[in-house]
């Protein structure tokens, strides 16, 4: 299909790991991104991964990419209350004359004490 | 760097009025994107420009919506006439097209309410 899919909600306890999943659509997508949106704010880039990589780690964040299944995940270690936000995955599809991002529906992460 | 600047941050208007949203991209960026975010439809790309030229406007809902980019440092999104279903958060984002990774940087958004 045309949609980038994510589960809508995830609830975790503070200190646990969070895993947010995403299924994208275009096997030719070159870069895949994770953005974070806090309440009342714009989207902020968290991390990205190039399509020839399987994994990328950046401090508490680990991105895993399974190209065969077109599956992307974001793992947040030691989740904190400040991580509560909506997380969007996005794929960069190559179109004629330029590139654009296609965003998923977003996963709302709630971190409980 | 000031980041992407959008104005106004909030807009409340009545149905039928013209609404103009403004965006100043990050200096040096050559691509600009307009998005709309609603609970029902999520984040939708409306239009994007590369070097001030509209590349893809397939996401623009209808003729009531128009966007311009007269120069590299300014863009507008206009709705005329506005309708209640246009109520949403409108984001502008910019990037530098040419880098292999091309991150989009988002502005804080304009929250539009059409009564």
pLDDT per position as a tens digit, A34-76:
999 998 899 999 999 998 899 999 999 999 999 999 999 999 9
Show residues of chain B in contact with A101, CB under 8 Å: 33, 45, 104
| Chain B interface residues (partner A, CB cutoff 8 A) | 4, 31, 33, 42-43, 45, 48, 50, 55-56, 91, 93, 97, 100-109
Q: Rounded to whole angstroms, what are the CA distances from B7 to A35, B92, B108?
A: 22, 10, 9
Length reported for chain A: 113
Contact B50 A98 (CB under 8 A): yes
At A73 the pLDDT is 97
Q: How far is Cα B67 from Cα B70, in angstroms, rounded to an integer?
A: 10
Query: Cβ contact (<8 Å) for B42 and A50?
Result: no
3-state secondary structure of A82: helix
Q: Which two tokens stand for residue A109?
A: 């992460």
pLDDT of residue B37: 94
Are A31 and A51 spatial neighbours (Cβ–Cβ below 8 Å)?
yes
Contact flag A97-B101 (C-beta cutoff 8 Å): no
For residue B9, the 8-state DSSP code is S
The residue ranges of chain B whose pLDDT is under 70 are 1, 99-101
Q: Is the pLDDT of residue A99 over 70?
A: no
pLDDT for A89 equals: 95
Q: Which residue of B has its CA nearest to A39?
A: B108
């Amino acid at each position: 299909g045309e949609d980038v899919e994510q589960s809508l909600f995830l609830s975790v306890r503070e200190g646990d790991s969070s895993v947010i999943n995403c299924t994208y659509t275009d096997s030719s997508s070159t870069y895949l991104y994770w953005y974070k949106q806090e309440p009342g704010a714009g989207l902020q880039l968290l991390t990205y991964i190039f399509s020839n990589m399987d994994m990328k780690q950046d401090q508490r964040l680990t991105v895993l990419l399974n190209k065969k299944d077109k599956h992307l995940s974001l793992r947040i270690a030691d989740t904190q209350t400040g991580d509560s936000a909506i997380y969007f995955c996005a794929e960069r599809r190559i179109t004629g004359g330029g590139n654009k991002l296609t965003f998923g529906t977003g996963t709302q992460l709630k971190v409980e004490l | 760097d000031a980041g992407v600047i959008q104005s106004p941050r909030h807009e409340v208007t009545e149905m039928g009025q013209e609404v103009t949203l403004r965006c100043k991209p990050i200096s040096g960026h050559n691509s600009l994107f307009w998005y709309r975010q609603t609970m029902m439809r999520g984040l939708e790309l409306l239009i994007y420009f590369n070097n001030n030229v509209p590349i893809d406007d397939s996401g623009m809902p209808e003729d009531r919506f128009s966007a311009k980019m007269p120069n590299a440092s300014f863009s507008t999104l206009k709705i005329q006439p506005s309708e209640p279903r246009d109520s949403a958060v409108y984001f502008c984002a910019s990037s530098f097209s040419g880098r292999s990774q091309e991150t989009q940087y988002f502005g804080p958004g304009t929250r539009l309410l059409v009564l």
